[in-house]
Amino acid sequence: MAVLIETSVGDLVVDLYTKERPKTCLNFLKLCKLKYYNYCLFYNVQSNFIAQTGDPTATGEGGTSLLGALKGEGFKYVESEAVPRLKHAKLGTVSMVTNENNCYTSQFFFTLRENLDYLDGKHCVFGEVAEGNDVLGKLSQSPVDKDGRPLQDVCILHTVILEDPYPDPPDLAPPSRSPSPPATLTDTNHIGVDEDIDEFEGKSAAEIQEAIALKESKANAHILEMVGDIPDADAKPPENVLFVCKLNPATSSEDLEIIFSRFGPILSCEVIRDQKTGDSLQYAFIEFETEDDCIKAYFKMDNVLIDDRRIHVDFSQSLAKTKHNKPIPSQPSPVDDKYEMVFDDKDLIPEKRKGKQDRDYKNREGSSSPRPRRGYRDTRKTSRSPRRRKFDSSHRKNEKERRKYSRSPRRKERDHGKERGRSSSKSPKRTKSHSSRSHNYRNH
């Protein structure tokens, strides 16, 4: 089941979900048969979101259902169908606008992109656009006002029912002709539906070319402003500056100033030179005090021979002076007055982090020792925490106590002799196992 919707920007073919939404499709089809949607404006268009229509008043508060059109205002609303649940997953999904009481009238909308999941369950989906996605693209790109209404009115011109599976109600009387355009189309400040917007109408080819060139120059100026090449897109070059090119490399700024000074006072004259070599780039800028002097020099000095070269003179198009009129921030002082800190090169350029061994040997005065190999531990100078030093001292003390009370018989006898004041050089008698072991060592 399908309906052809003719709009002012193109035609749309809508396939209806008659099995899933029988009541909603019946309401929509019979309203189309009554020509209720003819001249209904698209009054709420949001780019890449929705395009809403179906309200003859174009306010979002009007419209009525089929029963309301046949029986009166008391039957304005129809309860929405929620089962089965259909999603706004496709581009061009057609859905009835549902209020907070889960009821709808005649208003509906088209989705202008895919996967509008947050609309699921809030509005009643009853169809989709089978043909006319390009028309949806035009709707999405339409310039609109602050209320979302297109600046040039877009409306439904006519609806054609291609197939209707529902019988007509007994009191349904289709009109013989299409209704007249309502006041929402005629009394409006917007551009009319049938108005042709042609900004080049009545202009010659030269005027059209000039207008196009002006638009392109404005667009390029905005691009240069965004990248920072010019201070402002509307900035204009100074009118008292001349651009002189095709100069002899031997011509200097002083020579040009003397030659052009006969037309009036000169504020500045500069031959542009290469920054590295200092050679002339054979063009210059001359700034006069007044515009009249600049114009005189332009007409008199173009194509004049200077230093065996015919120069070319034109008005400057450079915005370099305009760009650099902004105050340049001063360089930061090496002394910060607020904190009274002095910065030097060592603070600005961090040194490469060195290991502990390099620092120890570098700080040792008069040391000619080479750098120790990797893995060597310098025991002469260590930096330990107080906790580590405390642990090491207690460890050494415990080690002395342990050695004192855990000694071999030989060590005990030797220490016992020292306590008596005599030295014991004789070793204790060996057991049989010791003597045999030493004998074996001697034999080997």
- Please report, for residues 157, 213, 216, 240, 325, the alpha-carbon distance to residue 229 in angstroms, rounded to integers and kept in the order given: 50, 20, 17, 21, 14
pLDDT digits (tens, 9 = 90+) for 116-170: 998 998 999 999 999 999 999 999 999 999 989 999 999 999 999 998 899 998 8
Task: Write the single-letter amino acid at 212.
Answer: I
Residue 432 has pLDDT above 60, yes or no: no
CA distance 210 to 200: 11
| Cα 407–chain centre separation | 79
Length of the chain: 444
For residue 420, what pLDDT is reported?
55
For residues 144 and 190, the model is more confident at 144
Q: Is the peptide bond before 329 cis (omega within 30 degrees of 0)?
A: no
CB 392 within 8 A of CB 400: no
pLDDT greater at residue 383 or residue 266 = 266
Contacts of 13 (CB under 8 A, 6+ apart): 2, 3, 4, 5, 129, 130, 131, 132, 162
Tell me the C-alpha distance between 444 and 286, whole Å: 108
Report the pLDDT value the prediction gives residue 272, as an integer from 0 to 100: 92
Tell me the domain boundaries of the chain: 2-186, 241-323
The answer, as to whether pTM is greater than 0.75, is: no
**Average pLDDT of the residues in 363-367:** 48
Q: How many other C-beta atoms lie within 10 A of the C-beta of residue 432?
A: 7
- Convert the pLDDT of each residue in 68-115 to its tens digit: 989 888 889 999 998 888 999 999 999 999 998 999 999 999 999 999
Which residue, 28, 1, 280, 43, is CA-closest to 155?
43
Find, among 119, 179, 132, 100, the residue nearest to 7 by Cα.
132
Pair type for strands 10-16 and 266-273: unpaired
* CATH class of the domain whose range is 2-186: mainly beta
* Chain segment 392-414, per-residue pLDDT in tens: 677 666 766 666 665 566 666 76
Q: What's the pLDDT at 200?
A: 76
- Name which residue leads in pLDDT, 421 or 220: 220
Predicted local distance difference test score (pLDDT) of residue 234:
79
**Cα–Cα distances in Å, from 129 out to 54, 163, 179, 244, 426?**
16, 15, 25, 64, 115
Task: With residue 131 as reference, give the H or E element that holds it.
Answer: strand 124-131
* Domain 241-323: which CATH number of 3.90.1300.10, 3.30.70.330, 3.40.50.300, 3.40.1010.20: 3.30.70.330
CA dist., res. 11 & res. 24, Å (int) = 22
For residue 80, count CB atoms less than 10 angstroms from its CB and return exposed for 0-12, middle for 13-18, buried for 19 or more: buried
**Contact assessment for residue 13 and residue 2, using Cβ atoms and an 8 Å cutoff:** yes
pLDDT mean across residues, the chain? 79
Better-scored residue on pLDDT, 358 or 411: 411
Residue 333: per-residue pLDDT: 45
- CB neighbour list of residue 273: distance below 8 Å, 6 or more residues apart: 279, 280, 281
